[in-house]
Amino acid sequence: MDRNSLVPLLILIPPSLILFVVFVVLPMVDAATYSFFSWTGYGPITDFVGFDNYADVITHRNFGTSVRNSLIVVAASLLIQLPLAMWVSVALSETGRIVSWMRTLFFLPYMLAEIAAGLIWKFVYDGNYGLVPQIGDALGTKLPFLLADKLWVIPAIMLVIVWKYFGFHMMIYIAGLQSIPSEVIEAARLDGVKKWQIVWHIKLPMIWPSIVISVFFAITGALQLFDMIIPLTNGGPSNSSHTIVSFLYAFGILRMKIGFGAAVSVLLCIACVIVALVYRRVLFAKENE
């Protein structure tokens, strides 16, 4: 490092670094600290309780439900959303006017605020004025109030998630598919390889990095799902549709149980780190092949 670069470094880096440390890193450290204390958010933090907060979280009767819901969302993302995105992207990676309109249309819900998407679907599902009861009438049956039914609420939310996010994954796949050199596809076609064999044996392996990325986003996105839960169900009926973050909000923040909420934060954070580590290893392994 020469002397000329010292002053620029001191101007270029510290602003970002300070903001990042104060508002991203320190809150994480704070969360870890708070999680070992019983604290209402006011006055000194003195009441050390060891792992009691963690015990309270894990034995809380709604925590299991919220973890289960978050895992269901992860599974649904991987099993429904990503295959749908892949199926659609194979067609929409072609060129053409209708194709490009459809790409824009399918991507649109991803750009929409979660709050707006949640309210739109709250209307669609509304038992009195929404579309679902009308569809039920047309079919000659009475459909349940989906968002007020413990059995149906999670599948109903999953449908909204697919609606909202599959376009995002589709875009990632399309970018991958379009970056495959056309000579490769052309050569295979000239050799008489069938279209779906090309997709399965050439295109899919070649966009493997895109798939890894989209799986990562699907998992971390599902783990932090919150915004849409509030307008759709607010965690109901009887706390059956909480995700981890909405559980944190409802039982930690709203009740100002700081230690309890911090313990949830730390657990969620650990989950994210594990996902990230696994993800790095998967990507790394593939790169080394």
> Residue 184, interface with other proteins (CB under 8 A)?
no
Per CB under 8 A, the list member of 23, 50, 181, 192 interacting with other proteins is: 23
> Residue 208, interface with other proteins (CB under 8 A)?
no
Residue appearing with tokens 């490092």: 1
Closest approach of other proteins to the CB of residue 68, in Å: 18
Say how many residues make up the chain: 289
Question: In this complex, which beta carbon is closest to other proteins, that of residue 163 or of residue 239?
Answer: 163
Residue appearing with tokens 């070649």: 206
> Residue 107, interface with other proteins (CB under 8 A)?
yes
Per CB under 8 A, the list member of 75, 115, 151, 278 interacting with other proteins is: 115
Of the chain, the end-to-end C-alpha distance in Å amounts to: 37
Tell me which stretch binds other proteins (CB under 8 A): 54-62, 65-73, 148-156, 211-219. Answer: 211-219
* In contact, 286 and 276? CB cutoff 8 Å: no
Nearest-angstrom CA–CA distance, 185 and 193: 9
Closest approach of other proteins to the CB of residue 53, in Å: 12
**Cβ neighbours, 10 Å, residue 258:** 22
**Phi-psi map region of 58: left, alpha, beta (phi>0 left; psi -120 to 50 alpha):** alpha
DSSP run (H or E) holding 37: none
Using CB under 8 A as the binding criterion, the count of chain residues that bind other proteins stands at: 93
Question: In this complex, which beta carbon is closest to other proteins, that of residue 22 or of residue 55?
Answer: 22
Per CB under 8 A, the list member of 62, 126, 180, 193 interacting with other proteins is: 126
Question: In this complex, which beta carbon is closest to other proteins, that of residue 150 or of residue 195?
Answer: 195
